[in-house]
Chains A and B, each alone.
Chain A
Amino acid sequence: MSGAVDTGVAIRTNRVTRTFIYLFLLLFALFYLLPLAVMLINSVKPLSEITGGNMMALPDVWTFEPWREAWSSAQIGVQPTGLRPYFINSILIVVPAVAISTIMGALNGYVLTKWRFRGDTILFGMLLFSCFIPFQIVLIPMARVLGMIGLAGSVPGLILVHVVYGLGFTTLYFRNYYSAFPTELVRAAQIDGAGIFRIFYRILLPLSGPIIVVTIIWQFTNIWNDFLFGSSFAGQASQPMTVALNNLVQSSTGVKAYNVHFAGAILAALPTLIVYIVSGRFFVRGLMAGSVKG
Protein backbone atom coordinates (compact mmCIF):
# COMPACT_ATOMS: atom_id res chain seq x y z
CA MET A 1 0.00 0.00 0.00
CA SER A 2 2.39 2.71 -1.11
CA GLY A 3 1.16 5.84 -2.73
CA ALA A 4 2.33 9.14 -4.13
CA VAL A 5 2.87 11.76 -1.47
CA ASP A 6 0.67 14.76 -1.96
CA THR A 7 -0.04 17.90 -0.04
CA GLY A 8 -3.83 17.40 0.04
CA VAL A 9 -5.01 14.24 1.73
CA ALA A 10 -2.60 12.12 3.72
CA ILE A 11 -3.71 8.70 2.54
CA ARG A 12 -3.19 8.17 -1.17
CA THR A 13 -3.76 4.89 -2.96
CA ASN A 14 -2.62 3.62 -6.32
CA ARG A 15 -4.75 2.12 -9.04
CA VAL A 16 -4.35 -1.53 -8.06
CA THR A 17 -5.22 -0.82 -4.45
CA ARG A 18 -8.23 1.22 -5.47
CA THR A 19 -9.52 -1.57 -7.71
CA PHE A 20 -9.21 -3.97 -4.81
CA ILE A 21 -11.00 -1.55 -2.49
CA TYR A 22 -13.88 -1.07 -4.91
CA LEU A 23 -14.21 -4.82 -5.40
CA PHE A 24 -14.24 -5.40 -1.66
CA LEU A 25 -16.87 -2.73 -1.06
CA LEU A 26 -19.07 -3.97 -3.92
CA LEU A 27 -18.82 -7.54 -2.68
CA PHE A 28 -20.06 -6.46 0.73
CA ALA A 29 -22.79 -4.33 -0.81
CA LEU A 30 -24.00 -7.54 -2.50
CA PHE A 31 -23.77 -9.45 0.79
CA TYR A 32 -25.94 -6.86 2.52
CA LEU A 33 -28.43 -6.55 -0.33
CA LEU A 34 -28.80 -10.26 -1.10
CA PRO A 35 -31.33 -11.30 1.58
CA LEU A 36 -33.67 -8.41 0.96
CA ALA A 37 -33.40 -8.75 -2.82
CA VAL A 38 -34.10 -12.47 -2.64
CA MET A 39 -37.12 -11.90 -0.42
CA LEU A 40 -38.47 -9.20 -2.75
CA ILE A 41 -38.01 -11.25 -5.92
CA ASN A 42 -39.55 -14.34 -4.41
CA SER A 43 -42.48 -12.55 -2.84
CA VAL A 44 -43.91 -11.87 -6.29
CA LYS A 45 -43.53 -15.44 -7.60
CA PRO A 46 -46.04 -18.25 -7.52
CA LEU A 47 -44.97 -20.94 -5.05
CA SER A 48 -44.23 -23.49 -7.80
CA GLU A 49 -41.50 -21.22 -9.21
CA ILE A 50 -39.83 -21.02 -5.81
CA THR A 51 -39.72 -24.69 -4.92
CA GLY A 52 -38.67 -25.82 -8.37
CA GLY A 53 -36.72 -22.83 -9.61
CA ASN A 54 -33.82 -20.54 -8.92
CA MET A 55 -34.12 -18.04 -6.11
CA MET A 56 -32.11 -15.50 -8.07
CA ALA A 57 -34.28 -15.67 -11.17
CA LEU A 58 -36.90 -13.04 -11.82
CA PRO A 59 -40.44 -14.43 -11.81
CA ASP A 60 -41.87 -15.85 -15.03
CA VAL A 61 -45.31 -15.02 -13.78
CA TRP A 62 -45.58 -11.91 -11.63
CA THR A 63 -48.16 -12.19 -8.90
CA PHE A 64 -49.06 -10.01 -5.98
CA GLU A 65 -51.25 -12.72 -4.52
CA PRO A 66 -48.62 -13.59 -1.83
CA TRP A 67 -48.72 -9.99 -0.61
CA ARG A 68 -52.50 -9.98 -0.49
CA GLU A 69 -52.49 -13.28 1.34
CA ALA A 70 -49.83 -12.18 3.85
CA TRP A 71 -51.71 -8.99 4.55
CA SER A 72 -55.29 -10.20 4.81
CA SER A 73 -55.87 -13.93 4.64
CA ALA A 74 -52.90 -15.99 5.86
CA GLN A 75 -53.57 -18.31 8.76
CA ILE A 76 -51.97 -16.94 11.93
CA GLY A 77 -53.20 -18.48 15.11
CA VAL A 78 -56.79 -19.63 14.83
CA GLN A 79 -58.24 -17.23 12.29
CA PRO A 80 -57.13 -16.65 8.69
CA THR A 81 -56.77 -12.92 9.28
CA GLY A 82 -53.42 -12.24 7.65
CA LEU A 83 -50.96 -9.91 9.31
CA ARG A 84 -53.17 -6.84 9.18
CA PRO A 85 -54.58 -6.95 12.73
CA TYR A 86 -51.08 -7.50 14.13
CA PHE A 87 -49.71 -4.64 12.09
CA ILE A 88 -52.43 -2.49 13.66
CA ASN A 89 -51.50 -3.83 17.11
CA SER A 90 -47.91 -2.81 16.55
CA ILE A 91 -48.99 0.70 15.60
CA LEU A 92 -51.32 0.89 18.62
CA ILE A 93 -48.38 -0.08 20.85
CA VAL A 94 -45.64 1.94 19.18
CA VAL A 95 -47.33 5.34 18.87
CA PRO A 96 -48.26 5.94 22.52
CA ALA A 97 -45.17 4.19 23.87
CA VAL A 98 -42.87 6.36 21.76
CA ALA A 99 -44.78 9.55 22.59
CA ILE A 100 -44.86 8.98 26.35
CA SER A 101 -41.26 7.83 26.69
CA THR A 102 -40.00 10.72 24.54
CA ILE A 103 -41.86 13.38 26.51
CA MET A 104 -40.73 11.93 29.83
CA GLY A 105 -37.18 11.55 28.56
CA ALA A 106 -37.09 15.20 27.47
CA LEU A 107 -38.25 16.40 30.89
CA ASN A 108 -35.84 14.06 32.69
CA GLY A 109 -32.91 15.15 30.55
CA TYR A 110 -33.76 18.78 31.16
CA VAL A 111 -34.03 18.39 34.92
CA LEU A 112 -30.88 16.27 35.14
CA THR A 113 -28.75 18.86 33.35
CA LYS A 114 -30.24 22.20 34.32
CA TRP A 115 -31.69 21.60 37.78
CA ARG A 116 -29.02 19.51 39.32
CA PHE A 117 -29.29 18.26 42.86
CA ARG A 118 -27.44 15.94 45.18
CA GLY A 119 -27.21 12.39 43.91
CA ASP A 120 -28.28 13.17 40.37
CA THR A 121 -25.21 11.52 38.87
CA ILE A 122 -25.83 8.29 40.75
CA LEU A 123 -29.46 8.44 39.69
CA PHE A 124 -28.40 8.92 36.10
CA GLY A 125 -25.90 6.09 36.35
CA MET A 126 -28.62 3.77 37.62
CA LEU A 127 -30.86 4.86 34.77
CA LEU A 128 -28.05 4.27 32.29
CA PHE A 129 -27.36 0.79 33.57
CA SER A 130 -31.05 -0.02 33.31
CA CYS A 131 -30.74 0.43 29.53
CA PHE A 132 -28.39 -2.50 29.24
CA ILE A 133 -29.89 -5.15 31.51
CA PRO A 134 -30.79 -8.39 29.80
CA PHE A 135 -34.57 -8.29 29.85
CA GLN A 136 -34.68 -11.93 30.93
CA ILE A 137 -34.09 -10.66 34.46
CA VAL A 138 -37.44 -8.82 34.52
CA LEU A 139 -39.66 -11.24 32.60
CA ILE A 140 -41.02 -13.19 35.55
CA PRO A 141 -41.91 -10.27 37.86
CA MET A 142 -43.24 -8.23 34.93
CA ALA A 143 -45.60 -11.05 33.98
CA ARG A 144 -46.78 -11.13 37.61
CA VAL A 145 -47.26 -7.37 37.86
CA LEU A 146 -49.13 -7.13 34.54
CA GLY A 147 -51.42 -9.86 35.81
CA MET A 148 -51.94 -8.11 39.15
CA ILE A 149 -52.86 -4.76 37.60
CA GLY A 150 -55.10 -6.40 35.02
CA LEU A 151 -53.03 -5.54 31.96
CA ALA A 152 -51.79 -9.03 31.12
CA GLY A 153 -52.05 -9.89 27.43
CA SER A 154 -53.26 -6.43 26.47
CA VAL A 155 -52.06 -3.58 24.30
CA PRO A 156 -51.90 -1.11 27.23
CA GLY A 157 -49.78 -3.65 29.11
CA LEU A 158 -47.24 -3.73 26.29
CA ILE A 159 -47.27 0.07 26.09
CA LEU A 160 -46.42 0.19 29.78
CA VAL A 161 -43.57 -2.29 29.34
CA HIS A 162 -42.05 -0.36 26.45
CA VAL A 163 -42.35 2.99 28.21
CA VAL A 164 -40.73 1.66 31.37
CA TYR A 165 -37.77 0.06 29.61
CA GLY A 166 -37.40 2.87 27.08
CA LEU A 167 -37.10 5.68 29.63
CA GLY A 168 -33.42 5.07 30.30
CA PHE A 169 -32.52 5.57 26.68
CA THR A 170 -34.73 8.60 26.06
CA THR A 171 -33.37 10.25 29.22
CA LEU A 172 -29.82 9.47 28.13
CA TYR A 173 -30.36 11.10 24.73
CA PHE A 174 -31.89 14.29 26.06
CA ARG A 175 -29.43 14.58 28.91
CA ASN A 176 -26.46 14.37 26.58
CA TYR A 177 -28.05 16.86 24.22
CA TYR A 178 -29.05 19.38 26.88
CA SER A 179 -25.73 19.17 28.69
CA ALA A 180 -24.22 21.06 25.75
CA PHE A 181 -26.73 23.90 26.25
CA PRO A 182 -25.49 27.00 28.07
CA THR A 183 -26.85 26.82 31.59
CA GLU A 184 -26.45 30.64 31.86
CA LEU A 185 -29.39 30.96 29.51
CA VAL A 186 -31.53 29.05 31.97
CA ARG A 187 -30.24 31.06 34.93
CA ALA A 188 -30.91 34.35 33.13
CA ALA A 189 -34.46 33.34 32.34
CA GLN A 190 -34.87 32.26 35.94
CA ILE A 191 -33.79 35.69 37.17
CA ASP A 192 -36.34 37.19 34.82
CA GLY A 193 -38.93 35.22 36.73
CA ALA A 194 -39.57 32.36 34.32
CA GLY A 195 -40.60 29.08 35.96
CA ILE A 196 -39.11 25.69 35.33
CA PHE A 197 -41.67 24.64 32.72
CA ARG A 198 -41.74 28.01 31.03
CA ILE A 199 -37.99 27.83 30.52
CA PHE A 200 -38.39 24.36 29.08
CA TYR A 201 -41.13 25.28 26.61
CA ARG A 202 -39.72 28.65 25.59
CA ILE A 203 -35.98 28.05 25.56
CA LEU A 204 -35.02 24.39 25.35
CA LEU A 205 -37.87 22.77 23.47
CA PRO A 206 -37.70 25.02 20.38
CA LEU A 207 -34.05 24.01 19.98
CA SER A 208 -34.63 20.29 20.57
CA GLY A 209 -35.78 19.33 17.07
CA PRO A 210 -32.83 17.11 16.12
CA ILE A 211 -32.70 15.15 19.37
CA ILE A 212 -36.47 14.65 19.36
CA VAL A 213 -36.21 13.13 15.89
CA VAL A 214 -33.32 10.90 16.96
CA THR A 215 -35.13 9.71 20.08
CA ILE A 216 -38.36 9.01 18.21
CA ILE A 217 -36.50 7.01 15.56
CA TRP A 218 -34.61 5.02 18.20
CA GLN A 219 -37.71 4.24 20.21
CA PHE A 220 -39.80 3.50 17.14
CA THR A 221 -37.23 1.04 15.78
CA ASN A 222 -36.67 -0.70 19.10
CA ILE A 223 -40.34 -1.07 19.95
CA TRP A 224 -41.43 -2.05 16.46
CA ASN A 225 -38.69 -4.68 16.29
CA ASP A 226 -39.22 -6.03 19.80
CA PHE A 227 -39.97 -9.72 19.99
CA LEU A 228 -39.16 -10.82 23.55
CA PHE A 229 -41.74 -8.65 25.32
CA GLY A 230 -44.30 -9.23 22.59
CA SER A 231 -43.99 -12.99 22.80
CA SER A 232 -43.90 -12.99 26.61
CA PHE A 233 -46.70 -10.59 27.46
CA ALA A 234 -49.07 -10.35 24.50
CA GLY A 235 -52.33 -12.25 24.31
CA GLN A 236 -53.55 -13.74 21.05
CA ALA A 237 -55.43 -10.52 20.29
CA SER A 238 -52.64 -8.12 21.19
CA GLN A 239 -49.68 -9.75 19.45
CA PRO A 240 -47.37 -7.34 17.67
CA MET A 241 -46.17 -7.80 14.11
CA THR A 242 -42.88 -9.58 14.93
CA VAL A 243 -44.62 -12.29 16.94
CA ALA A 244 -47.27 -12.80 14.27
CA LEU A 245 -44.62 -13.00 11.55
CA ASN A 246 -42.71 -15.60 13.53
CA ASN A 247 -45.92 -17.61 13.99
CA LEU A 248 -46.62 -17.39 10.28
CA VAL A 249 -43.14 -18.52 9.29
CA GLN A 250 -42.86 -21.28 11.89
CA SER A 251 -46.31 -22.72 11.28
CA SER A 252 -45.75 -26.33 10.36
CA THR A 253 -49.13 -27.23 8.92
CA GLY A 254 -49.21 -28.01 5.23
CA VAL A 255 -46.89 -26.73 2.52
CA LYS A 256 -44.62 -23.84 3.45
CA ALA A 257 -45.80 -20.84 1.47
CA TYR A 258 -42.41 -19.19 1.16
CA ASN A 259 -43.66 -16.40 -1.04
CA VAL A 260 -46.24 -15.46 1.57
CA HIS A 261 -43.58 -15.61 4.30
CA PHE A 262 -41.36 -13.23 2.35
CA ALA A 263 -44.16 -10.80 1.68
CA GLY A 264 -44.96 -10.90 5.40
CA ALA A 265 -41.34 -10.35 6.38
CA ILE A 266 -41.11 -7.32 4.13
CA LEU A 267 -44.37 -5.99 5.56
CA ALA A 268 -42.89 -6.34 9.05
CA ALA A 269 -39.71 -4.59 7.95
CA LEU A 270 -41.38 -1.83 5.95
CA PRO A 271 -42.08 0.75 8.68
CA THR A 272 -38.54 0.74 10.06
CA LEU A 273 -37.06 0.61 6.55
CA ILE A 274 -39.10 3.66 5.56
CA VAL A 275 -37.94 5.49 8.68
CA TYR A 276 -34.38 4.52 7.84
CA ILE A 277 -34.61 5.68 4.22
CA VAL A 278 -36.41 8.91 5.04
CA SER A 279 -34.16 9.88 7.93
CA GLY A 280 -30.99 7.84 7.48
CA ARG A 281 -28.73 10.49 8.89
CA PHE A 282 -30.71 10.81 12.10
CA PHE A 283 -31.07 7.06 12.37
CA VAL A 284 -27.31 6.59 12.40
CA ARG A 285 -26.87 9.41 14.86
CA GLY A 286 -29.44 7.74 17.09
CA LEU A 287 -27.66 4.39 17.00
CA MET A 288 -24.37 6.08 17.79
CA ALA A 289 -25.81 8.13 20.64
CA GLY A 290 -27.04 4.88 22.13
CA SER A 291 -23.55 3.46 22.15
CA VAL A 292 -21.05 6.27 22.31
CA LYS A 293 -21.54 9.13 24.64
CA GLY A 294 -22.84 12.16 22.73
Chain B
Amino acid sequence: MARPVQSDLRTRLQEWIPKIVLAPSVASMLIFVYGFIVFTGYLSFTNSRILPTFDLVGWHNYWRLFQLPTWTIAVQNLAIFASLYIAICIAIGLSLAIFLDQKIRGEGLLRPIFLYPMALSFIVTGTAWKWLLDPGIGIEHTLHLWGWESFHFGWIKSSSMAIYTVVIAAVWQSSGFVMAMFLAGLRGIDNEILKAAQMDGASNWNLYRRIIIPQLRPAFLSAFVILAHLAVKSYDLVIALTGGGPGRATELPATFMYSYTFTRNEMGVGAASAVIMLMTIAAIMIPYLYAELKEPK
Protein backbone atom coordinates (compact mmCIF):
# COMPACT_ATOMS: atom_id res chain seq x y z
CA MET B 1 0.00 0.00 0.00
CA ALA B 2 2.84 2.36 0.83
CA ARG B 3 4.62 2.06 -2.48
CA PRO B 4 2.07 3.55 -4.86
CA VAL B 5 1.62 6.54 -2.57
CA GLN B 6 5.33 7.14 -2.45
CA SER B 7 5.79 6.80 -6.17
CA ASP B 8 2.81 9.05 -6.70
CA LEU B 9 4.48 11.70 -4.57
CA ARG B 10 7.68 11.20 -6.49
CA THR B 11 6.05 11.59 -9.86
CA ARG B 12 4.29 14.69 -8.67
CA LEU B 13 7.58 16.08 -7.43
CA GLN B 14 9.17 15.15 -10.73
CA GLU B 15 6.47 17.15 -12.44
CA TRP B 16 7.10 20.16 -10.28
CA ILE B 17 10.89 20.24 -10.31
CA PRO B 18 11.18 21.51 -13.91
CA LYS B 19 8.93 24.41 -13.03
CA ILE B 20 10.85 25.11 -9.84
CA VAL B 21 14.12 25.15 -11.79
CA LEU B 22 12.72 27.63 -14.27
CA ALA B 23 10.96 29.77 -11.68
CA PRO B 24 13.83 32.15 -10.77
CA SER B 25 14.58 32.90 -14.41
CA VAL B 26 10.94 33.29 -15.34
CA ALA B 27 10.31 35.53 -12.35
CA SER B 28 13.34 37.70 -13.12
CA MET B 29 12.30 37.92 -16.75
CA LEU B 30 8.75 38.91 -15.86
CA ILE B 31 9.94 41.58 -13.42
CA PHE B 32 13.16 42.90 -14.94
CA VAL B 33 12.15 42.74 -18.57
CA TYR B 34 8.40 42.82 -19.02
CA GLY B 35 7.58 44.50 -15.71
CA PHE B 36 10.14 47.18 -16.40
CA ILE B 37 8.83 47.69 -19.91
CA VAL B 38 5.38 48.31 -18.46
CA PHE B 39 6.85 50.64 -15.84
CA THR B 40 8.78 52.69 -18.39
CA GLY B 41 5.72 52.67 -20.61
CA TYR B 42 3.67 54.05 -17.73
CA LEU B 43 6.28 56.71 -16.94
CA SER B 44 6.09 57.88 -20.53
CA PHE B 45 2.53 59.00 -19.79
CA THR B 46 3.42 60.87 -16.58
CA ASN B 47 5.00 64.23 -15.92
CA SER B 48 8.11 62.66 -14.36
CA ARG B 49 11.04 65.00 -14.40
CA ILE B 50 14.04 64.37 -12.15
CA LEU B 51 12.22 61.58 -10.29
CA PRO B 52 9.40 59.29 -11.38
CA THR B 53 5.92 60.58 -10.54
CA PHE B 54 2.62 58.93 -11.20
CA ASP B 55 0.55 61.88 -12.42
CA LEU B 56 -0.74 60.95 -15.83
CA VAL B 57 -0.50 63.56 -18.54
CA GLY B 58 -1.69 61.50 -21.50
CA TRP B 59 0.25 61.69 -24.72
CA HIS B 60 1.96 64.92 -23.72
CA ASN B 61 5.51 63.46 -23.64
CA TYR B 62 5.15 61.84 -27.04
CA TRP B 63 3.77 65.06 -28.45
CA ARG B 64 6.66 66.99 -26.93
CA LEU B 65 9.17 64.40 -28.11
CA PHE B 66 8.13 64.79 -31.71
CA GLN B 67 8.29 68.58 -31.38
CA LEU B 68 11.87 68.50 -30.11
CA PRO B 69 14.43 69.36 -32.81
CA THR B 70 17.00 67.20 -30.99
CA TRP B 71 14.79 64.12 -31.33
CA THR B 72 14.20 64.82 -35.01
CA ILE B 73 17.97 65.08 -35.49
CA ALA B 74 18.49 61.86 -33.54
CA VAL B 75 15.96 59.98 -35.66
CA GLN B 76 17.37 61.37 -38.90
CA ASN B 77 20.87 60.44 -37.77
CA LEU B 78 19.72 56.95 -36.93
CA ALA B 79 18.18 56.59 -40.38
CA ILE B 80 21.43 57.68 -42.04
CA PHE B 81 23.60 55.65 -39.71
CA ALA B 82 21.51 52.46 -39.79
CA SER B 83 21.01 52.34 -43.55
CA LEU B 84 24.68 52.95 -44.33
CA TYR B 85 25.92 50.70 -41.54
CA ILE B 86 23.73 47.80 -42.64
CA ALA B 87 24.35 48.26 -46.36
CA ILE B 88 28.12 48.68 -46.11
CA CYS B 89 28.57 45.85 -43.58
CA ILE B 90 26.63 43.48 -45.83
CA ALA B 91 28.50 44.61 -48.96
CA ILE B 92 31.92 44.25 -47.34
CA GLY B 93 30.99 41.09 -45.46
CA LEU B 94 29.64 39.39 -48.58
CA SER B 95 32.62 40.42 -50.72
CA LEU B 96 35.15 39.26 -48.17
CA ALA B 97 33.31 35.97 -47.69
CA ILE B 98 33.10 35.28 -51.44
CA PHE B 99 36.76 36.14 -51.94
CA LEU B 100 37.91 34.15 -48.92
CA ASP B 101 35.96 31.19 -50.26
CA GLN B 102 38.20 30.96 -53.37
CA LYS B 103 40.71 28.57 -51.78
CA ILE B 104 42.81 31.47 -50.58
CA ARG B 105 46.25 30.80 -49.20
CA GLY B 106 46.50 32.30 -45.75
CA GLU B 107 42.78 32.15 -45.08
CA GLY B 108 43.56 30.91 -41.58
CA LEU B 109 45.51 34.11 -40.97
CA LEU B 110 43.16 36.55 -42.70
CA ARG B 111 39.91 35.39 -41.11
CA PRO B 112 40.92 36.16 -37.52
CA ILE B 113 42.27 39.56 -38.63
CA PHE B 114 38.88 40.42 -40.17
CA LEU B 115 37.01 39.28 -37.11
CA TYR B 116 38.98 40.49 -34.11
CA PRO B 117 37.39 43.99 -33.94
CA MET B 118 34.20 42.25 -32.85
CA ALA B 119 35.95 41.25 -29.62
CA LEU B 120 36.63 44.88 -28.69
CA SER B 121 34.28 47.15 -26.83
CA PHE B 122 32.85 50.13 -28.67
CA ILE B 123 34.63 52.34 -26.16
CA VAL B 124 37.98 50.98 -27.35
CA THR B 125 36.90 51.19 -31.00
CA GLY B 126 35.72 54.75 -30.46
CA THR B 127 38.97 55.75 -28.76
CA ALA B 128 41.04 54.37 -31.62
CA TRP B 129 39.01 55.93 -34.42
CA LYS B 130 38.52 59.25 -32.66
CA TRP B 131 42.24 59.68 -32.90
CA LEU B 132 42.73 58.28 -36.41
CA LEU B 133 40.02 60.60 -37.72
CA ASP B 134 41.31 63.66 -35.89
CA PRO B 135 42.65 65.88 -38.68
CA GLY B 136 45.37 67.47 -36.55
CA ILE B 137 47.03 64.22 -35.61
CA GLY B 138 45.57 61.16 -37.33
CA ILE B 139 45.34 60.01 -40.93
CA GLU B 140 45.18 63.51 -42.41
CA HIS B 141 48.29 64.62 -40.52
CA THR B 142 50.17 61.47 -41.55
CA LEU B 143 49.36 61.93 -45.23
CA HIS B 144 50.55 65.53 -44.98
CA LEU B 145 53.84 64.31 -43.54
CA TRP B 146 54.09 61.83 -46.40
CA GLY B 147 53.85 64.70 -48.84
CA TRP B 148 50.16 64.76 -49.79
CA GLU B 149 49.70 68.30 -48.53
CA SER B 150 46.29 68.92 -50.08
CA PHE B 151 44.65 65.89 -48.46
CA HIS B 152 41.79 66.95 -46.26
CA PHE B 153 39.66 64.72 -44.06
CA GLY B 154 37.95 66.60 -41.27
CA TRP B 155 34.60 64.80 -41.11
CA ILE B 156 34.72 64.26 -37.37
CA LYS B 157 34.82 68.03 -36.77
CA SER B 158 32.12 68.83 -39.30
CA SER B 159 28.52 68.87 -38.16
CA SER B 160 27.23 67.69 -41.52
CA MET B 161 29.73 64.85 -41.91
CA ALA B 162 30.39 63.63 -38.34
CA ILE B 163 27.64 61.00 -38.46
CA TYR B 164 29.54 59.30 -41.29
CA THR B 165 32.58 58.86 -39.05
CA VAL B 166 30.35 56.86 -36.70
CA VAL B 167 29.51 54.67 -39.70
CA ILE B 168 33.21 54.14 -40.46
CA ALA B 169 34.04 53.01 -36.95
CA ALA B 170 30.92 50.84 -36.64
CA VAL B 171 31.58 49.16 -39.99
CA TRP B 172 35.14 48.49 -38.90
CA GLN B 173 33.80 46.81 -35.77
CA SER B 174 31.06 44.64 -37.28
CA SER B 175 31.80 43.87 -40.93
CA GLY B 176 34.10 40.95 -40.11
CA PHE B 177 31.28 39.31 -38.22
CA VAL B 178 28.97 39.65 -41.20
CA MET B 179 31.75 38.07 -43.27
CA ALA B 180 31.74 35.09 -40.90
CA MET B 181 27.97 34.68 -41.28
CA PHE B 182 28.17 34.70 -45.07
CA LEU B 183 31.19 32.42 -45.07
CA ALA B 184 29.27 29.87 -43.02
CA GLY B 185 26.43 30.14 -45.52
CA LEU B 186 28.76 29.72 -48.51
CA ARG B 187 30.40 26.66 -47.01
CA GLY B 188 27.00 25.08 -46.65
CA ILE B 189 26.18 25.25 -50.37
CA ASP B 190 26.33 21.97 -52.26
CA ASN B 191 29.20 21.98 -54.74
CA GLU B 192 27.45 19.46 -57.00
CA ILE B 193 24.72 21.92 -58.00
CA LEU B 194 27.36 24.45 -58.97
CA LYS B 195 29.29 21.93 -61.00
CA ALA B 196 26.14 20.91 -62.83
CA ALA B 197 25.35 24.54 -63.65
CA GLN B 198 28.89 25.02 -64.84
CA MET B 199 28.61 22.06 -67.20
CA ASP B 200 25.68 23.93 -68.71
CA GLY B 201 28.04 26.79 -69.40
CA ALA B 202 27.30 29.18 -66.53
CA SER B 203 30.08 31.67 -65.79
CA ASN B 204 31.31 32.32 -62.25
CA TRP B 205 29.44 35.60 -62.26
CA ASN B 206 26.21 33.85 -63.17
CA LEU B 207 26.82 31.11 -60.63
CA TYR B 208 26.98 33.73 -57.90
CA ARG B 209 24.16 35.83 -59.22
CA ARG B 210 21.71 33.03 -60.01
CA ILE B 211 22.54 30.24 -57.58
CA ILE B 212 24.86 31.12 -54.72
CA ILE B 213 23.60 34.51 -53.57
CA PRO B 214 19.91 33.48 -53.68
CA GLN B 215 20.82 30.52 -51.48
CA LEU B 216 22.32 32.88 -48.92
CA ARG B 217 18.90 34.35 -48.16
CA PRO B 218 18.86 33.19 -44.52
CA ALA B 219 22.31 34.71 -43.95
CA PHE B 220 21.13 38.01 -45.46
CA LEU B 221 18.08 38.01 -43.22
CA SER B 222 20.05 37.22 -40.07
CA ALA B 223 22.69 39.81 -40.90
CA PHE B 224 20.03 42.43 -41.52
CA VAL B 225 18.16 41.71 -38.28
CA ILE B 226 21.31 41.64 -36.15
CA LEU B 227 22.77 44.81 -37.68
CA ALA B 228 19.46 46.68 -37.51
CA HIS B 229 19.03 45.88 -33.85
CA LEU B 230 22.64 46.83 -33.11
CA ALA B 231 22.12 50.12 -34.92
CA VAL B 232 19.05 51.07 -32.88
CA LYS B 233 20.90 50.23 -29.67
CA SER B 234 24.09 52.13 -30.61
CA TYR B 235 25.21 54.20 -27.69
CA ASP B 236 28.76 53.44 -26.54
CA LEU B 237 30.39 54.15 -29.87
CA VAL B 238 28.89 57.61 -30.19
CA ILE B 239 29.83 58.45 -26.61
CA ALA B 240 33.45 57.41 -27.16
CA LEU B 241 33.85 58.71 -30.68
CA THR B 242 32.10 62.06 -30.79
CA GLY B 243 30.17 62.43 -27.55
CA GLY B 244 27.13 63.24 -29.71
CA GLY B 245 28.82 66.25 -31.23
CA PRO B 246 29.93 68.46 -32.74
CA GLY B 247 26.85 70.21 -31.44
CA ARG B 248 24.08 67.67 -31.87
CA ALA B 249 25.49 66.28 -35.11
CA THR B 250 25.83 62.67 -33.99
CA GLU B 251 22.98 62.45 -31.49
CA LEU B 252 21.14 59.12 -31.75
CA PRO B 253 17.93 58.00 -29.99
CA ALA B 254 20.02 56.07 -27.45
CA THR B 255 22.09 59.11 -26.48
CA PHE B 256 18.97 61.27 -26.52
CA MET B 257 17.19 58.93 -24.11
CA TYR B 258 20.13 58.94 -21.72
CA SER B 259 20.64 62.68 -21.64
CA TYR B 260 16.93 63.57 -21.35
CA THR B 261 16.40 61.05 -18.57
CA PHE B 262 19.50 61.46 -16.46
CA THR B 263 21.00 64.86 -17.12
CA ARG B 264 18.20 67.07 -18.41
CA ASN B 265 15.64 65.91 -15.83
CA GLU B 266 12.94 65.15 -18.37
CA MET B 267 12.32 61.56 -17.41
CA GLY B 268 8.87 61.45 -19.01
CA VAL B 269 10.27 62.45 -22.39
CA GLY B 270 13.19 60.06 -21.92
CA ALA B 271 10.79 57.22 -21.15
CA ALA B 272 8.74 58.05 -24.24
CA SER B 273 11.86 57.91 -26.40
CA ALA B 274 12.78 54.53 -24.89
CA VAL B 275 9.30 53.23 -25.75
CA ILE B 276 9.76 54.36 -29.36
CA MET B 277 13.12 52.57 -29.48
CA LEU B 278 11.55 49.39 -28.14
CA MET B 279 8.74 49.58 -30.69
CA THR B 280 11.26 49.96 -33.50
CA ILE B 281 13.21 46.90 -32.41
CA ALA B 282 10.05 44.89 -31.76
CA ALA B 283 8.88 45.63 -35.30
CA ILE B 284 12.08 44.03 -36.59
CA MET B 285 12.58 41.24 -34.07
CA ILE B 286 9.13 39.82 -33.41
CA PRO B 287 8.37 38.69 -36.99
CA TYR B 288 11.89 37.29 -37.24
CA LEU B 289 11.73 35.38 -33.95
CA TYR B 290 8.24 34.17 -34.75
CA ALA B 291 9.44 32.69 -38.03
CA GLU B 292 12.52 31.16 -36.39
CA LEU B 293 10.52 29.52 -33.63
CA LYS B 294 7.74 28.26 -35.83
CA GLU B 295 9.83 26.59 -38.49
CA PRO B 296 11.00 23.36 -36.84
CA LYS B 297 7.54 22.11 -35.85
* Chain B residues within 8 Å of chain A by Cβ, number: 109
* Chain A residues within 8 Å of chain B by Cβ, number: 101
Contact mask for chain B residues 108-129; partner A; CB cutoff 8 A; 1 contact, 0 none: 0010111111111111110111
Which of B110, B115, B123, B197 is within 8 Å of A284, CB to CB? B115
Q: What's the nearest-Cβ distance from chain A to residue B227, in Å?
A: 10
Name the B residues within 8 Å of A139 (CB-CB): 257-258, 261, 274
A225 engages B121 (CB within 8 Å): yes
A151 within 8 A of B: no
A132-B281, A261-B127 known; A127+B177 contact, CB < 8 A? no
Count contacts between A and B, CB distance < 8 Å.
Answer: 276
Chain B 195-216 interface residues, beta-carbon cutoff 8 Å to A: 195, 197-199, 203-205, 207
A139-B261, A139-B274 known; A134+B281 contact, CB < 8 A? yes
A33 engages B102 (CB within 8 Å): no
A185 within 8 A of B: no
B239 engages A246 (CB within 8 Å): yes
Contact mask for chain B residues 275-286; partner A; CB cutoff 8 A; 1 contact, 0 none: 101100110011
A140 engages B39 (CB within 8 Å): yes
A202 within 8 A of B: no
A92 within 8 A of B: no
Name the A residues within 8 Å of B275 (CB-CB): 137
Name the B residues within 8 Å of A123 (CB-CB): 22, 26
Name the B residues within 8 Å of A117 (CB-CB): 18-19
Within the assembled complex, what's the spacing in Å between the Cα atoms of A272 and B122?
12
A/B interface sample: 20 pairs, CB < 8 A: A21-B104, A28-B92, A38-B131, A54-B141, A54-B145, A55-B142, A125-B293, A126-B34, A132-B285, A134-B278, A136-B233, A137-B274, A138-B40, A139-B261, A221-B119, A246-B123, A272-B119, A275-B119, A277-B112, A291-B225
Report the 9 A-B pairs with minimum CB-CB distance, sorted nearest first. A10-B194, A225-B121, A115-B18, A35-B128, A276-B119, A227-B236, A1-B204, A141-B36, A130-B33
Not counting A29-B114, A32-B113, A140-B267, a sample of 17 additional A-B residue pairs whose C-beta atoms are within 8 angstroms of each other reads: A1-B204, A10-B194, A10-B198, A25-B100, A35-B129, A39-B128, A55-B132, A108-B22, A135-B233, A139-B258, A140-B52, A141-B36, A227-B239, A242-B123, A258-B131, A276-B119, A287-B177
